Chains A and B, each alone.
Chain A
């Protein structure tokens, strides 16, 4: 695709897309969800804010889906006293998109306090999309019952504490759980059993298969001081090294960040509920309060972000081609 969209941001790392490490760019707040297009094995993402719709021409990818995250239904503190309204706004964007997604991903913290009525409210709003939705839990979805309720609602057919994989139009999706059995002082954790399962899950796939991994807590070290990382993610990602195109989608940190490292592109999504501070820019990662009249704009207006590790992923294109 040669034509860049108005707000599209394209990263081309030293024209090699491979060795540039530590690339970290904090983008803008967004709360409307992200439309993802898979084209030639390359995932591109667009914010669903209306200004950045990829349009019909760009939408001719193999697959499109939307990522929603951190709806925190039930949160009612000053940072956002009406998270139902902002989640509904995100749903409205999905329903009004000129590039209808084939399905939705929710990357966790569906609820704020794991209360049945909070899950019910989200489920009810998602119904209006008529789309199949895939979930992974956030830590707020596993409170008090070690995830029993989450598993009953969303975990059918999954393994362990809720991990699973599925295929859509040649793309292999893997939903991982990194919010269980967290240890004192530690980060997110996948655990040995899940990592072994992942190894087995992907080992028979061709290396040209595009892989999309989604989990709640970032699978890369965004800011370990605030627990924004997963202690054993490197082990998991090691099993994905053979693949030419790997996209990792996370939530948890309530802001958009992107990073390209070798064959892996990492994205974190904004929350539909409230923003959190940039790493280290506040005493704690608590909800960031913005003036009430600005909240919707913080949540609703965003840059459009598209990440392509140009050359590394171009190799994938040729492999696929």
Chain B
């Protein structure tokens, strides 16, 4: 059996597929672009407290804690899912939340300091 297809006829579906692929790629880029501002979040440690103490972020967000106190602190998940080393003044710790859930945490040096990250 001979398959005889003119170039012009072939071009139509190829072009269509290409357009579809392009638009799919474009729409996925749009989605990523919309998520970008939420992909990182900063929590300040100041005056023996986490600020904001409770945050809600999308899956995949990297949260960075920065210590602005004159005294060292730590960031330790209650369930030991993440644990920073001791952070001296101006030192930072980051953790990327890849699963939804609620992550309570505290400063293991000053356990009265508590916070929470809700990942959706």
Q: Which chain A residues in 217-236 approach chain B with CB under 8 Å?
A: 225-227
B104 touches A184 (CB 8 A): yes
Q: Within the complex, what minimum Cβ distance (angstroms) separates B69 from chain A?
A: 6
User: For A77, what are the chain B residues with a Cβ–Cβ distance below 8 Å?
Assistant: 70, 89
Q: Which chain A residues in 265-307 approach chain B with CB under 8 Å?
A: 283-287
B111 touches A285 (CB 8 A): no
User: For B108, what are the chain A residues with a Cβ–Cβ distance below 8 Å?
Assistant: 182
- Residue B9 is within 8 A (CB to CB) of chain A in the complex: no
* Other-chain residue from A78, A114, A225, A283 in contact with B86 (beta carbon distance below 8 A): A114
Complex Cα distance A113/B105, Å?
A: 21
- Residue A79 is within 8 A (CB to CB) of chain B in the complex: yes
B48 touches A284 (CB 8 A): yes
A140 touches B47 (CB 8 A): no
Chain A minimum-CB-distance residue to B48:
A284
B78 touches A286 (CB 8 A): no
- Residue A70 is within 8 A (CB to CB) of chain B in the complex: no
B111 touches A227 (CB 8 A): yes
Query: B interface, how many residues as a size bin?
Result: 20 to 34
- Residue B61 is within 8 A (CB to CB) of chain A in the complex: no
User: For B85, what are the chain A residues with a Cβ–Cβ distance below 8 Å?
Assistant: 143-144
Complex Cα distance A226/B107, Å?
A: 13
Secondary structure class of chain A's binding surface, majority of residues: loop
User: For B78, what are the chain A residues with a Cβ–Cβ distance below 8 Å?
Assistant: 184
Complex Cα distance A184/B48, Å?
A: 14
User: For A182, what are the chain B residues with a Cβ–Cβ distance below 8 Å?
Assistant: 108-109, 111
Complex Cα distance A79/B70, Å?
A: 9
* Other-chain residue from B49, B70, B88, B111 in contact with A184 (beta carbon distance below 8 A): B111
User: For A140, what are the chain B residues with a Cβ–Cβ distance below 8 Å?
Assistant: 72, 109
Binding site for B on A (CB under 8 A): 77-79, 112-114, 139-140, 143-144, 182-187, 225-227, 283-287
A-B contact pairs, 23 of them (CB 8 A): A77-B89, A113-B86, A139-B109, A140-B109, A143-B72, A143-B74, A143-B85, A143-B109, A182-B111, A184-B106, A185-B112, A186-B112, A187-B111, A187-B112, A226-B112, A227-B112, A283-B47, A284-B49, A284-B69, A285-B48, A286-B69, A286-B70, A286-B71
* Closest CB pairs A-B (n = 9): A184-B106, A284-B48, A77-B70, A284-B47, A227-B112, A143-B86, A182-B111, A186-B111, A139-B109
Binding site for A on B (CB under 8 A): 47-49, 69-72, 74, 78, 85-86, 88-89, 104-106, 108-112, 114
